[in-house]
A and B are shown apart, each in its own frame.
Chain A
Amino acid sequence: MLEKFNQLSFIIGAFFMLVAIVLLGGYLISDDMKQNINLYTGIGLLIFGLFMIKIKASE
């Protein structure tokens, strides 16, 4: 698992997944963050994060 952090695509994917979790988690539990733009952006970033983690970019 730790070795994957040597891959830039994995680092970028992990970063955006964490940001997506913050946005989606906030949407679910906070009234301030319960806005569609947070939901849609969170979903978009989650998909992008997963994509970056999955692709086998040559490094």
Chain B
Amino acid sequence: MKLQIADYLIISIYFLFVIAVGFIIKKRIKSSNDFLSSGRNIPLWITSLAFISANLGAQEVLGMVASGAKYGIMTVHFYWIGAIFAMVFLGVFMMPFYYGSKARSVPEYLFLRFDEKTRALNAITFAVMTIFSSGISLYALAKLLEVILHWNFDLCIWAAAGIVMAYTFLGGLTSAVYNEVLQFFLIVLGLSPLVIVALQDAGGWESIRTNLQPQLTHTWKYMGHADDNPMGIQFMSLIFGLGFVMSFGYWCTDFLVVQRAMIAKNMSAAQRTPIVAAIPKLFMPLVVVLPGVIAITLMQPALQSKGFSIPSDANGQLDYTMALPALISHYYPSGLLGLGITALIASFMSGMAGNVTAFNSVFTFDIYQSYFVKNKSDKHYLMVGKLITLVGILLSIGTAYIASSYNNINDFLQLVFSFVNGPLFATFLLGMFWKRTTGHGAFWGLMAGTIAAAITHGLTIAEGKGGWISPMFEIKSGMGQAFIVASFSWIANFFSTILISLATKPKPDEALRGLVYSLTEKVKAEEQKWYLKAAPLGLILLIITIILNIIFF
């Protein structure tokens, strides 16, 4: 892949714009809340697109295309069973507590609802995870540019980190959010021509269905038995593991995405943020799953004359992660090639900036202000927030180099993250909807969930991974294993939290008003028109999602 002047020009225009956004927003930053929480003053269309874009990082774009090539259309379960239902639940049921409690972060909500130790556990694990995610994103970007464009690895790391630092340091969360919206349009519009031209070259959807095994072109039909589908998982495990535990755990509790809804102008906008975001999310598989399905179709014997192939890795296996770069290289001429590469760079930078801004909010509010320096002036916390942005970027660079030195560290970290994140939704579900849940129950439930995740992973083996206690159960795919690990960790957390809560003293009702469903006055809809209310909008989205599942059954 070789870039021409026009390609470099497009990449340069993008860099210029993202830094310019930082300078424009800088004028609006007057307080620590402006810098770390955007002063709760961002319009709905921006919070919604930022909400979806915060998740549109490298793992999403490259990873979903790779999964589309590996597992076929079943990958849409991440959207049509996973994300949409969870986003609607967040908007309708959980945002009133996050937004109404006036908490500035998810860990702060845990402090208000439970106690200091539960907040500390969540804040510290979240801060560590965001830094590692940011560093891994940076490493993956530099590695990709080194492999496909032969750019210098170190230069890529420092240049990309420098640009993200420039706009997050200048404009804080607002700058990151504005750039996420630009990145959203760039990713969608930069990759859409690729889908159209590649789909046309593959002969359209009918040709895909003819040339691929039927297991790769149906979402549910082959899920009756684990051995019948490429993910190696039965439908109940999928619905519970992915649809409930993992998706609700991520979309409803991860501060990285929830933060985008918490900065909305008012409660109504905060509730509608994830629901409006779910509209483009519903159709995102067209841009990030379909290319993978097309890529694997183009490699079938009947279409080999098209000359497309996914590169192989060192073991001679197809390197599915390279499916998207391979498609871009194959179909995009000079000019559009620059746009495609810029879209990839944008996805990495979006992921990194999202992590860094979430890290500086949690570190400043939930660690620094809570445990180290209390009751200082707002100017002091603004300065700390900016300083932490720099520290976050430097730590990300350090993590990127660690990731480059250890082949398996990415897999290891992703695994640890799943141990921590998997059970988290049980804590929030019980905390928000059962007033008897106690701080001790929440804390030790989280611990039990994490331990259960580690044990389940140690007893199962998939694609050579896991089974470190004893490989008693074999699972066909790593993805299937992840769903099962998450399910067990959630169940362990759920029941441990209930048992320990029943044995410990709950907070008085007065302290839980606005934090628990049964003790909170129902939110009166600010919007009068039904189509501007969260619940009807959510219901329509769920109906459309079910129809899509039936169409591609």
Interface residues of A (CB under 8 A from B): 5-6, 8, 11-12, 14-16, 18-19, 22-23, 26-27, 30, 32-33, 35, 37-38, 40-42, 44-45, 48, 57-59
Interface residues of B (CB under 8 A from A): 4, 6, 9-10, 13-14, 17, 20-21, 24, 43, 45-46, 178, 181-182, 185-186, 189, 193, 197, 331-336, 338-339
In the complex where A11-B17, A15-B13, A15-B14 touch, is A5 in contact with B24 (Cβ < 8 A)?
A: yes
Q: Establish whether residues A22 and B185, one from each chain, have CB atoms under 8 Å apart when the complex forms.
A: no
Which among B13, B24, B193, B335 has the highest number of chain A CB atoms within 10 Å? Answer: B335
Q: Establish whether residues A8 and B46, one from each chain, have CB atoms under 8 Å apart when the complex forms.
A: yes
B105 to chain A, nearest CB (A): 24
Q: Which residue of B lies closest to A27 (CB)?
A: B335
Q: A22 contacts which of B6, B21, B43, B186 (Cβ < 8 Å)?
A: B6
- Top 7 nearest A-B pairs by Cβ distance? A26-B6, A33-B335, A32-B334, A35-B333, A38-B335, A26-B335, A41-B193
Q: Which residue of B lies closest to A24 (CB)?
A: B335
In the complex where A11-B182, A12-B182, A30-B6 touch, is A38 in contact with B336 (Cβ < 8 A)?
A: yes
Sample (21) of A-B pairs whose CB atoms are under 8 Å apart: A8-B46, A11-B178, A12-B181, A14-B17, A15-B13, A15-B14, A19-B10, A19-B13, A22-B10, A22-B338, A23-B336, A23-B339, A26-B335, A27-B335, A32-B333, A37-B336, A38-B335, A41-B336, A45-B189, A57-B43, A58-B43
State the CA gap A6–B334 with chains docked (Å): 32
Question: Chain B residues with Cβ under 8 A from A26's Cβ?
Answer: 6, 334-335
Q: Establish whether residues A59 and B43, one from each chain, have CB atoms under 8 Å apart when the complex forms.
A: yes
State the CA gap A25–B360 with chains docked (Å): 42
Q: Establish whether residues A23 and B13, one from each chain, have CB atoms under 8 Å apart when the complex forms.
A: no
Q: Which residue of B lies closest to A19 (CB)?
A: B10
State the CA gap A57–B374 with chains docked (Å): 40
State the CA gap A40–B196 with chains docked (Å): 12
Question: Chain B residues with Cβ under 8 A from A8's Cβ?
Answer: 46, 178, 181-182
B280 to chain A, nearest CB (A): 15
A27 to chain B, nearest CB (A): 7
Q: Establish whether residues A38 and B333, one from each chain, have CB atoms under 8 Å apart when the complex forms.
A: yes
Question: Chain A residues with Cβ under 8 A from B20's Cβ?
Answer: 5, 11
B281 to chain A, nearest CB (A): 19
Question: Chain B residues with Cβ under 8 A from A30's Cβ?
Answer: 4, 6, 334
Question: Chain A residues with Cβ under 8 A from B178's Cβ?
Answer: 8, 11
By DSSP majority rule, is chain A's interface helix, strand, loop, or mixed?
A: helix
Q: Establish whether residues B336 and A6, one from each chain, have CB atoms under 8 Å apart when the complex forms.
A: no
Q: A41 contacts which of B14, B186, B339 (Cβ < 8 Å)?
A: B339
Q: Establish whether residues A48 and B333, one from each chain, have CB atoms under 8 Å apart when the complex forms.
A: no
State the CA gap A22–B6 with chains docked (Å): 7
Question: Chain A residues with Cβ under 8 A from B6's Cβ?
Answer: 22-23, 26, 30, 33
B328 to chain A, nearest CB (A): 12
Q: Which residue of B lies closest to A34 (CB)?
A: B333
State the CA gap A58–B47 with chains docked (Å): 12
Q: Establish whether residues A37 and B332, one from each chain, have CB atoms under 8 Å apart when the complex forms.
A: yes
Which among B6, B46, B185, B189 has the highest number of chain A CB atoms within 10 Å? Answer: B6
Q: Establish whether residues B17 and A22, one from each chain, have CB atoms under 8 Å apart when the complex forms.
A: no
Apart from A11-B17, A41-B339, 5 more pairs, CB < 8 Å: A5-B20, A15-B14, A37-B193, A38-B336, A57-B45
Q: Which residue of B lies closest to A55 (CB)?
A: B45
Question: Chain B residues with Cβ under 8 A from A41's Cβ?
Answer: 193, 336, 339
Q: Which residue of B lies closest to A15 (CB)?
A: B17
State the CA gap A24–B408 with chains docked (Å): 44
State the CA gap A12–B24 with chains docked (Å): 13
In the complex where A41-B336, A41-B339 touch, is A16 in contact with B21 (Cβ < 8 A)?
A: no
Question: Chain A residues with Cβ under 8 A from B10's Cβ?
Answer: 19, 22
Question: Chain A residues with Cβ under 8 A from B24's Cβ?
Answer: 5-6, 11
Question: Chain B residues with Cβ under 8 A from A58's Cβ?
Answer: 43, 45
State the CA gap A16–B182 with chains docked (Å): 10
In the complex where A11-B17, A57-B43, A58-B43 touch, is A23 in contact with B335 (Cβ < 8 A)?
A: yes
Q: Establish whether residues B333 and A15, one from each chain, have CB atoms under 8 Å apart when the complex forms.
A: no
Which among A19, A27, A48, A59 has the highest number of chain B CB atoms within 10 Å? Answer: A19
Q: A33 contacts which of B17, B185, B186, B334 (Cβ < 8 Å)?
A: B334
Q: Establish whether residues B21 and A11, one from each chain, have CB atoms under 8 Å apart when the complex forms.
A: yes
In the complex where A5-B24, A12-B181, A59-B43 touch, is A37 in contact with B13 (Cβ < 8 A)?
A: no
State the CA gap A45–B338 with chains docked (Å): 14
State the CA gap A22–B46 with chains docked (Å): 27
Q: Establish whether residues A18 and B13, one from each chain, have CB atoms under 8 Å apart when the complex forms.
A: yes
A28 to chain B, nearest CB (A): 11
B17 to chain A, nearest CB (A): 5
Q: Which residue of B lies closest to A7 (CB)?
A: B24
State the CA gap A44–B177 with chains docked (Å): 25
Q: Establish whether residues B335 and A15, one from each chain, have CB atoms under 8 Å apart when the complex forms.
A: no
Q: Establish whether residues B181 and A16, one from each chain, have CB atoms under 8 Å apart when the complex forms.
A: no
Q: Establish whether residues A40 and B193, one from each chain, have CB atoms under 8 Å apart when the complex forms.
A: yes
A41 to chain B, nearest CB (A): 5
B201 to chain A, nearest CB (A): 11
State the CA gap A5–B17 with chains docked (Å): 11
B29 to chain A, nearest CB (A): 14
